[in-house]
Copies of this chain bind each other. A is one copy, B any other.
Amino acid sequence: MTTVAAAAGERTGRAKPATMAQALGRALRDSMAEDPTVHVLGEDVGTLGGVFRVTDGLAKEFGDDRCTDTPLAEAGILGAAVGMAMYGLRPVVEMQFDAFAYPAFEQLISHVAKMRNRTRGAMPLPITVRVPYGGGIGGVEHHSDSSEAYYMATPGLHVVVPATVDDAYGLLRASIASDDPVVFLEPKRLYWSKAAWSPDAPAAVEPIGRAVVRRSGRSATLITYGPSLPVCLEAAEAATAEGWDLEVVDLRSLVPFDDETVAASVRRTGRAVVVHESSGFGGPGGEIAARITEQCFHHLEAPVLRVAGFDIPYPPPMQERHHLPGVDRVLDAVARLQWEAEG
């Protein structure tokens, strides 16, 4: 793993409001500045700066060879990145939207995830695949898929999902620095979320794989990540009116999965709801609920419940609000956590 020293300093610069998109762009820039083997490639990432402007300015600063507009072919992009990584580069691939990563599925599953294992460690592939993902931005079909279940089920991949501006920077730096391939899911609807953040002295970069408690509470635990974190935090606030003091855990990475943090929280609270935007059936929530139950069975006052997108294809923009798990749906699940049993 390359060092990420530049990012490891103390936060000394003056914090100003920054968006997640800006923090991601800055993470790319800092990675490229520090490590000449980092190359960005994808559709429209160069001259245009990406359709979400995350790569804005990189081609100008580092040249077209470091930030490259590729032909329009996702399997080709990821396949070429595999070859570049085989030669010692550290490619960061942008897939323009979630559903447009599917053409690269074979390269991802059959090569990216398996090359280190196939060569018994001789040829790791330090590739980061950035995927703007999820709904809530009024996108037409194919622009709002939550695809994390596919990647989670594939041994050999790391799956990382930032939910805050800080983490967007830190986790992307850590992902690029990782010698393992990372599918880096960027919640599109948080791209323009803002937080006080100093690009000059970003917070220390933590290794991938640590969940974090975003809000402490004692009644029950909401377990979530990425686009659903703000929903859960809002729900937790609203829940105080009902007398519930909810803990909120942000997973930050689905692989590796931080069993310790999650189990510790649920053992404390005795109740848990997993919240995500992805469809429920076969989605991440099943795995998470099953793990919690295996590890905390005798601490559980109620079954772990799941609040998720419905088991339907992502709806058209005018209907998406009905699909996306919102505060009410989270609170409804909390209410179903068999409180009467408490007595």
Q: CA–CA, A65 to B181, complex, Å?
A: 44
How many copies of this chain does the complex contain? 2
Residues of A123-161 at the interface with B, using a CB-CB cut-off of 8 Å, are 141-142, 149-150, 152-156
Assess whether A26 is interfacial by the CB under 8 Å rule.
no
Assess whether A83 is interfacial by the CB under 8 Å rule.
no
- Across-interface contacts of A241 in B (CB, < 8 A): none
Assess whether A306 is interfacial by the CB under 8 Å rule.
yes
- Across-interface contacts of A118 in B (CB, < 8 A): 141, 313
Q: CA–CA, A29 to B196, complex, Å?
A: 66
Assess whether A289 is interfacial by the CB under 8 Å rule.
yes
Q: CA–CA, A113 to B149, complex, Å?
A: 16
Query: Beyond A141-B118, A290-B290, A313-B113, is A282–B284 a contact (Cβ under 8 Å)?
Result: yes
Assess whether A255 is interfacial by the CB under 8 Å rule.
yes
Assess whether A2 is interfacial by the CB under 8 Å rule.
no
- Across-interface contacts of A325 in B (CB, < 8 A): none
Distance to closest chain B CB from A316 (angstroms)? 10
Residue of B nearest to A75 (CB): B103
- Across-interface contacts of A142 in B (CB, < 8 A): 110
Q: CA–CA, A306 to B103, complex, Å?
A: 32
Residues of A57-88 at the interface with B, using a CB-CB cut-off of 8 Å, are 75
Q: Are A110 and B117 in contact (CB under 8 A)?
A: no
Q: Are A281 and B152 in contact (CB under 8 A)?
A: yes
Residues of A228-275 at the interface with B, using a CB-CB cut-off of 8 Å, are 254-255, 257
* Chain A: number of interface residues, binned into ranges: 35 or more
Chain B proximity mask over A107-121: 1 for CB below 8 Å, otherwise 0: 001100110011000
Assess whether A206 is interfacial by the CB under 8 Å rule.
no
Q: CA–CA, A118 to B255, complex, Å?
A: 32
- Across-interface contacts of A110 in B (CB, < 8 A): 99, 102, 142
Q: CA–CA, A109 to B278, complex, Å?
A: 14
Q: Are B287 and A293 in contact (CB under 8 A)?
A: no
Assess whether A1 is interfacial by the CB under 8 Å rule.
no
Assess whether A303 is interfacial by the CB under 8 Å rule.
yes
Query: Beyond A105-B106, A281-B155, A297-B303, is A312–B117 a contact (Cβ under 8 Å)?
Result: yes
Residue of B nearest to A117 (CB): B313
Residue of B nearest to A108 (CB): B102
Residue of B nearest to A303 (CB): B297
Residue of B nearest to A105 (CB): B105
- Across-interface contacts of A217 in B (CB, < 8 A): none
Q: CA–CA, A150 to B110, complex, Å?
A: 14
- Across-interface contacts of A152 in B (CB, < 8 A): 281-282
Assess whether A286 is interfacial by the CB under 8 Å rule.
yes
Assess whether A214 is interfacial by the CB under 8 Å rule.
no
Assess whether A199 is interfacial by the CB under 8 Å rule.
no
Distance to closest chain B CB from A72 (angstroms)? 14
Q: Are A294 and B283 in contact (CB under 8 A)?
A: no
Q: CA–CA, A257 to B286, complex, Å?
A: 14
With A103-B105, A154-B282 known, 14 other A-B pairs at CB within 8 A are: A103-B106, A105-B105, A105-B106, A110-B142, A114-B141, A118-B141, A149-B150, A153-B282, A155-B279, A155-B313, A156-B313, A282-B287, A289-B293, A297-B300
